[in-house]
Amino acid sequence: MSATDQTPKKLSPVLHWALLSCGFIALALALIGIFLPVLPTVPFLLLALACFARSSARIYNWLLDHAHFGPLIRPYLQKQGIPRATKLKAIALLWLSIGLSVVFLLELL
């Protein structure tokens, strides 16, 4: 599904620029989230995609077709969610980090 499939509604210039600004801010936060593990990437990409869907079909399609961002957000648009292997890796890393924290960061009694 692309933004051009929908009938575009005429937005007020203020709303158009507000959505574009919000989309670019969300995209910047997603870029930062790639390098910072505490900041999620995909939710910010989805927010940017939603803002661009209403304000700019060209940027919306660019984001969907992007080599790095497209594969992260396409499964959500196709109602597939997170792949099972990714979920298992995330849960395994979570438990590993909890285990290592318990072993190395708690003082021995």
Angle between helices 13-35 and 57-65 (to 10 degrees): 20
What does pTM read for this prediction? 0.69
Mean pLDDT along residues 77-103: 85
25 neighbors 47 (Cβ within 8 angstroms): no
Q: Please report the pLDDT score of residue 49 as a whole number.
A: 94
Mean pLDDT along residues 77-100: 85
78 neighbors 46 (Cβ within 8 angstroms): no
Q: Please report the pLDDT score of residue 7 as a whole number.
A: 43
- Tell whether the model's pLDDT for residue 77 goes beyond 80: yes
- Tell whether the model's pLDDT for residue 75 goes beyond 60: yes
> How long, in residues, is the chain?
109
Mean pLDDT along residues 11-35: 92
Confidence of residue 108 (pLDDT cuts 50, 70, 90): low
Spatial separation of the C-alpha atoms in residues 5 and 7, rounded to whole Å: 7
Q: Please report the pLDDT score of residue 6 as a whole number.
A: 53
- Tell whether the model's pLDDT for residue 9 goes beyond 80: no
